[in-house]
Amino acid sequence: MRPGSDHSQKGTEAYLRQTLRYARLMSDATFLVRMDSGNDSLGNIKVCREEKAHYIIKRNLRRETPEEWLEIAMECGEMEEPRPGKQVWRGERYIKRGGIAEPLRIAFCVTVRTMEENGQALLMPKLEVETYWTSLFDDPKTVVKLYQAHGTSEQFHSELKTDLDLERLPSGKFQTNEMVLLLGMVTYNMLRLIDQESLQEADAPIRKQVSRRRVRSVIQDLVYLACRLVRHARCLRLSFGRHCPWFDTWRRIYYQFAPT
């Protein structure tokens, strides 16, 4: 939690180190850290190396020009042409940086477009350059795909902000907003757990097989489920409709998580 005027890298090194150590408590697996160009910092690379975690960090080109990288790509990269008018150069190079003994690996992807997909020729070639710091030894194409997979994580962020209505925090005080975010985290994890459990059996009335559902769908189908609270024999009961489509799924999840 910090003012919006602060740079995104402020406090990131300490946060990254703490996050990796928390992750070690949950698993002994090898971790991969993905960061965008806003966190292109030598300090983040040092933290990943000290914590023995792999990393893919998108580089900020800063004073490097796309034309310079095109020359590098044509010199030491490999080219493929997925369609007429589009050339993609991929490769790697190593650069020394202060404070780190061995050279750091950079995987790059340079795209040259002379024609659009609809066949429209371009007067000037369009250059797109993507470069990544990485500790992986995979080929550059795999490294780029692994970085692009962070789009799934962005979908989770979208659900947290839109489906749980946490895009705008309610207070001007950081402590209050921190408490709201912590409660939102607990709620989100509970709904995500309900979602995964609802897909374990074939009793959910879903048209096609899916691996996960949005939090909004889980709330509408399993939390907003219509029922009536009935008092009978000094007990409170929930009465559902005879033809409630989600009742079997709801009952299975309830008995799985409710205290016995």
**What average pLDDT does range 67-92 have in this prediction?**
94
Q: Determine what percent of the chain is predicted with pLDDT higher than 90.
A: 67
* Confidence at residue 108, expressed as pLDDT on a 0 to 100 scale: 96
**Token pair of 256, please?**
């799985």
Q: Dihedrals φ, ψ of 25, to 5°? A: -70, -20
**What average pLDDT does range 82-104 have in this prediction?**
92
Q: Is 183 helix (H, G, I), strand (E, B) or coil?
A: helix
Q: Are 129 and 69 in contact (CB under 8 A)?
A: yes
Q: What residue has token string 């602060």?
A: 6
Crossing angle (nearest 10°) for helices 174-198 and 247-257? 120
Rounded CA-CA distance 217/223 in Å is 9
Q: Are 106 and 133 in contact (CB under 8 A)?
A: yes
Reply yes or no on whether the pLDDT at 240 is more than 70. Answer: yes
pLDDT digits (tens, 9 = 90+) for 178-197: 999 999 999 999 999 999 99
pLDDT digits (tens, 9 = 90+) for 225-236: 999 999 988 999
* Confidence at residue 146, expressed as pLDDT on a 0 to 100 scale: 94
Q: Determine what percent of the chain is predicted with pLDDT higher than 70.
A: 99
Reply yes or no on whether the pLDDT at 167 is more than 90. Answer: no
**What average pLDDT does range 26-41 have in this prediction?**
92
Q: Are 112 and 126 in contact (CB under 8 A)?
A: yes
Reply yes or no on whether the pLDDT at 109 is more than 90. Answer: yes
Q: Is 48 helix (H, G, I), strand (E, B) or coil?
A: helix
* Confidence at residue 260, expressed as pLDDT on a 0 to 100 scale: 58
Question: Residues with Cβ < 8 Å from 199, sequence gap 6 or more?
Answer: 206, 210, 211, 212, 213
Q: Are 92 and 140 in contact (CB under 8 A)?
A: yes
Average pLDDT over the chain reads 91
* Confidence at residue 151, expressed as pLDDT on a 0 to 100 scale: 80
**What average pLDDT does range 214-220 have in this prediction?**
92
Reply yes or no on whether the pLDDT at 214 is more than 80. Answer: yes
Q: Are 115 and 95 in contact (CB under 8 A)?
A: no
- How many Cα atoms sit within 13 Å of 100 on the Cβ side? 19
